Amino acid sequence: MVKVKDIKWKKGVRVSELVKHLSTTGFQAVELGKAVECIAKMKRENAKIYFTFTSNMVTTGLRGFFAQLIKLRMVDVAITTVGSIEEDIMKAIGEDFYIGNYSADDVGLHEKGINRVGNLLIRNESYEKFESYMLDVLRKLYEKQNRYSVTEMLKEIGLMIKDENSILYQAAKNNVPIFCPAITDGAFGFHLFMFQQDHKDFIIDVVKDFADLIFSSTHDDKKGIIALGGGVSKHHAILGTLLNGGADYAVYMTTAHEYSGSLSGATTREAKSWGKIKDAADAVTVIGDVSITFPLAMMSVLDILSDEGIINEE
């Protein structure tokens, strides 16, 4: 049995040292330590890593960190929701988001043309600039060809972006496919709809996209999942790995709980009942705010893998 140990501050402590100490303090800190070990093992074992996240995480300052992880080759496949795509593009074209508070006057914000995501604020003007940008992008895409899978379309958009902190840019540059199964579930989908009204032969093929997900791995590949939050992005990853024998490693980070029966709250234990994660898989569920837990875990992993010479900061 592992003993509970007191944690103490020391000057200059590294993130990896902090998380290692946390792993013997108790509660979710223990699971955080297990998550670090699991993610590091995925990379050491050359597993194909499926990284999933929801759009609210791109609203935060995690967006540039996600892009950096793609650049560092810590991600082989990314799966997200359409808000991530929209907000990545907004930030890439120079729009800023702001910190507000949870108890804001929401009616007053609406009257000022400000939208609230938790304690973060997005101006209507950001969506207006996004609309103008997308009209130009869709025209360029259509001039090139009239039919795309979602991943093909997002790669083409990524190649148009010139922002090192952009998820789309880094994914396109490093040949990491981005799957977005609910591509119409937002402003992006509305612009696709409007563009198609005048260009009836412009098709975004989501079925081909699903086929590409299935063929992104094989039964022989070792597969790892890092799922931040839940919803369609998480399920798309575990469904894709299920069809190829299940994941060998999985780390779920979420604020949702399992008692409602939701996919967002479903643990890695529950996934084993479906065969989405293999029976003997190294799998961890961490309950907590991803804006805190994920940077601690992943920066710890990067410290460890950098020390081992597996990754190098460029």
Q: How far apart are CA 107 and CA 289, in angstroms?
A: 27
The residues near 132 (Cβ < 8 Å, ≥ 6 apart) are none
Q: How far apart are CA 302 and CA 312, in angstroms?
A: 9
Q: Which amino acid is at 42?
A: M
Q: How far apart are CA 237 and CA 247, in angstroms?
A: 9
Q: How far apart are CA 277 and CA 275, in angstroms?
A: 5
DSSP H or E segment with residue 178: strand 178-179
Q: Which two tokens stand for residue 50?
A: 């499926």
Is 276 catalytic? The answer is yes
Query: 246 and 281 in contact (C-beta within 8 Å)?
Result: yes
DSSP 69-89: HHHTT--SEEEE-HHHHHHHH
Q: How far apart are CA 272 and CA 175, in angstroms?
A: 30
Secondary structure (H, E, C), 235-286: HHHHHHHHCCCCEEEEEEEECCCHHHCCCCCCCHHHHHHHCCEEEEEEEEEE
DSSP H or E segment with residue 150: helix 150-160
Q: How far is CA 26 from CA 8, 22, 39, in A?
A: 14, 8, 20
Catalytic residue among 91, 234, 276, 278: 276
Q: How far apart are CA 28 and CA 208, in angstroms?
A: 39
Exposed, middle or buried, 129 (CB in 10 Å: 0-12/13-18/19+)?
middle
Active site residues: 276
